[in-house]
Amino acid sequence: MDTIDMTIHGLHQALESKQLSSVEATKAMLARIEAVEPQVGSFITVTPEQALAGAEAADRRIAAGDMDMLTGIPLALKDIFLTEGIRTTCGSRILDNFIPPYSATSWEKLRDRGAVLLGKLNQDEFAMGSSNESSAFGVCRNPWDTTRIPGGSSGGSAAAIAARQATATLGTDTGGSIRQPASHCGCVGLKPTYGRVSRYGVIAYASSLDQVGPLTRDVTDCAIMLGALAGYDPKDSTSVDLAVPDYVATLPNGVKGLRIGLPREYFIAGLDADVQKAMDAAIETYRRLGAEFVDISLPHTDYAVATYYLIATAEASSNLARYEGVRFGHRSASAEGLIDMMTKSRSEGFGAEVKRRIMLGTYALSSGYYDAYYVKAQKVRTLIMNDFIRAFADVDVMLTPVAPTPAFKIGEKVNDPLQMYLSDIFTIPVNLAGTCAMSLPAGFSADGLPIGVQLIGRPFGEEAILRAGYAFEQATEWHRATASL
Amino acid sequence: MSISVTDVEYVARLARLELGADEKEVFAGQMNAILGYVEKLKGLDTDGVIPTSHAVPMENAFREDLVCAPIGVDKALGNAPQRSGSFFNVPQVIE
C-alpha cells in the first residue's frame, strides 16, 4: 500500500516495524500535497519545514522506544486552530497576517504525542458556510468531482483526506461543519459531545455550539484521534471533567441487540433518491448484524434551522466584535478617528457571508427584537433538546442521513443563503442538543459522489456510535473507495 | 414585518460595518428572506419554557487564584497593527 493511502493505525504499524520512517512518510505526503494542490485547494498554508522537523523528532522518539499511536503521523489542521508561530487565518482576510502567540489545546495534545503538522487547511471564513465557498483563500474542490463543493465549513479538512494529502485532519462543527464535508468527501467525521474536547485556542464562531473533532479514513482512526483529543482542560471552562474511555478497545463489541432509532422527521419528501438508497442499505446492513430498529419522533426538527440561524448569528456578532483593528488583524489605512478605523477595518476585512451573519445576529440581539428572536430561539432550543432526551429513553443511537443531497456544484447556492442554510437540516439539531454524532461513508450516488449516513449518540455516548460505526465498516467496503484524482 | 434599507443602515452602524449601496439592497432582500423563514418559530407555544443558553448543565468553573506565567509584552503586542513601546496605538479617541 502507498504511504499516502494509509490509515493512522496502518502507518503506525509500518513505523513501529521500521518499514518506514516518519520523515519518509512526511516527505511522501508533502510531495502529494504539491502534486494535487492545484486541482484541490485544500490548504491555506503548507508548513514543510515544521513538518520535516516534527518528523525527525518523531523518528528519534520511535528509535528510543517512546512511541504513541500518533507518533510520526502526518496531520493537518483546519485554519481555525491557533498554532504558535504559524499563520492562522480562519479563512478570513482580516487575519491574513495573524501569527498566534500560543497554540490550541487540541493541537498541543496531538503534537505532544509526536504528531507531525503538514499545514493549515482551507475552510469557510470564520467557519460560516456549508460549501467552503466563503473562504478568502481560494476555492476548495471536491476530490471526487472537482466541479463540486467539498462541503463546509471544514471543507479543506475533508478534501485533504479524500485527496490523500494528510493521514487525518482536525475540523470544527457548529452546525454540521465536520459531518457534512465528511459525507460529501467519503470520509469519517466525528462531532463529539459539547464539552468533550477543549475549545481553547479555537477561533470562536458560536461558542455554545462549536466543537472540535477529527476527520479520518476509518472509524478506528477516529477512535484513536478522539482518545487523544478528549478530556478536561482548565483553560476551557466549558470542557467537562469526565474520564476518557478507551474508545479503541470497545470497537469490536458489535451491535447485536443495539437499539437504533429512526427519527421519522428525517425521512422527508425531497430527500435525494440516492441518499434514501444509501440509508435503506445501511438499515439492512445493521439488521443483518443483529441491531433492532425503533421508529422514533423528534417533533421539533422542522424548527432547528431557524433556531440555529438566530442563536449562531447572535453569538457570532458578539464573538466577532473583537476584530477591531487594534490588537491584531487588519487595520484600515484610510480611516480617520477610532470608530471610523474600527468600522473600515471590519468592512475591508470581512467577506459577505460573515457580514451577513453579523448583521442577522446584531438584529436578533438589538433592542426591541431580543425577546422575539434570541430568547424565543433559546426556548425552542430547549424543546429540541427535550426531543432528544425523550427519544434516547428508548434507543441507544439514532441513524439518519447527513445531508439531503450529495455534494452540489460550485456556485450553485452562493446567491441564495437560505437554500445554503437548509442543506444543514439533519446536522444542526445535534449541535443545538449538544450531543455527539458521526458521519460514515455509506454509498455513492449514480454520478459517483460519496454519501454518508449519520449515527447520533447520547451526550458523552461516543463509545456507542464508534462501536456501531466500526461494525458497519467491517460489513461494508465504502470506506476503502478512493477518489481517482 | 420587513427590513428596509434604513433598517440595514441602522444595524450596520450597531455592528460597526460600512456597506456599499448595492450591498445594502442585497442584504435587505436576504435578511427579509431569512427572517421570513425564522418567523415559523412564532407559531410554537413556548410559554413557561426555560431558555437554553448552554447544552451541558454546568456550575461556575472556579480555579485556584494562583499567579501563572504571563505571555509577555512582546508576544502580546506581536500582532498589533501599530504599537508604541509597550502599548497598542490607536487613532485619537477624543476629538
Taking 3-state DSSP, the helix, strand and coil percentages for chain B, each rounded to the nearest 5, stand at 40, 5, 55
What whole-number distance in Å separates Cα of residue A400 and Cα of residue A430? 11
Question: Which residue among the candidates A153, A154, A183, A445 is catalytic per the annotation?
Answer: A153
What whole-number distance in Å separates Cα of residue A108 and Cα of residue B76? 20
Alpha carbon A178 to chain centroid distance?
2
Task: Report all structural domains of chain A as residue ranges with CATH numbers, in order of start.
Answer: 3-261+394-480 (3.90.1300.10), 302-380 (no CATH)
pTM for this model (two decimals): 0.97
Q: Which three cell numbers stand for residue A304?
A: 432547528
Which among A177, A255, A163, A28 has a CA at the least distance from the CA of A485?
Answer: A163
Residue in B with minimal Cα distance to A434: B55
Residues of B with CB below 8 A from A97's CB?
A: 79
Which amino acid would we find at residue A125?
E
* pLDDT in the model for residue A1: 79
Inter-chain contact B37–A325, Cβ cutoff 8 Å? Answer: no
Q: Given CB atoms, is A326 within the 8 Å cutoff of chain B?
A: yes
Residues of B with CB below 8 A from A193's CB?
A: 56
Instruction: Please give the DSSP secondary-structure letter assigned to residue B43.
Output: G
State yes or no: is A409 an active-site residue: no
Determine contact, residues A476/A450, Cβ cutoff 8 Å.
no
* pLDDT in the model for residue A320: 98
Residues of A with CB below 8 A from B69's CB?
A: none
State yes or no: is A208 an active-site residue: no
Residue in A with minimal Cα distance to B45: A380
Residues of A with CB below 8 A from B46's CB?
A: 376, 379-380, 383
Question: pLDDT digit string (tens) for B31-88?
Answer: 999 999 999 999 999 999 999 998 887 778 888 899 988 999 999 999 999 999 999 9
| Class of domain B5-43 as given by CATH | mainly alpha
Q: Given CB atoms, is A356 within the 8 Å cutoff of chain B?
A: yes
* pLDDT in the model for residue A420: 86
* pLDDT in the model for residue B8: 97
Residues of B with CB below 8 A from A303's CB?
A: 40-41, 44
- Per-residue confidence band for B1, with pLDDT thresholds at 50, 70 and 90: low
Q: Which of A317, A363, A460 to mutate to test the interface with B (most CBs of B within 10 A)?
A: A363
* pLDDT in the model for residue B61: 81
Inter-chain contact A238–B88, Cβ cutoff 8 Å? Answer: no
Q: Given CB atoms, is A286 within the 8 Å cutoff of chain B?
A: no
What whole-number distance in Å separates Cα of residue A198 and Cα of residue A234? 9
Residues of A with CB below 8 A from B41's CB?
A: 303, 306-307, 310, 376-377, 380
Question: Which residue among the candidates A92, A131, A154, A177 is catalytic per the annotation?
Answer: A177
Residue in B with minimal Cα distance to A321: B15
Task: Output the tens digit of pLDDT for each of chain A's 485 residues.
Answer: 799 999 999 999 999 999 999 999 999 999 999 999 999 999 999 999 999 999 999 999 999 999 999 999 999 999 999 999 999 999 999 999 999 999 999 999 999 999 999 999 999 999 999 999 999 999 999 999 999 999 999 999 999 999 999 999 999 999 999 999 999 999 999 999 999 999 999 999 999 999 999 999 999 999 999 999 999 999 999 999 999 999 999 999 999 999 999 999 998 777 899 999 999 999 999 999 999 999 999 999 999 999 999 999 999 999 999 999 999 999 999 888 999 999 999 999 999 999 999 999 999 999 899 999 999 999 999 999 999 999 999 999 999 999 999 999 999 998 888 888 888 999 999 999 999 999 999 999 999 999 999 999 999 999 999 999 999 999 999 999 999 98
Q: Indicate the domain borders of chain B.
A: 5-43
State yes or no: is A78 an active-site residue: yes
Q: Which three cell numbers stand for residue B46?
A: 413556548
What whole-number distance in Å separates Cα of residue A431 and Cα of residue A437? 9
State the DSSP H helix or E strand holding residue B84, giving kind and residue range, or none if neither. Answer: strand B83-84
- Terminal-to-terminal C-alpha distance of chain A: 17
Give the gap in angstroms from C-alpha B52 to the nearest C-alpha of chain A.
5
**CB nearest A208 (choices: B27, B54, B95):** B54
Determine contact, residues A226/A247, Cβ cutoff 8 Å.
yes
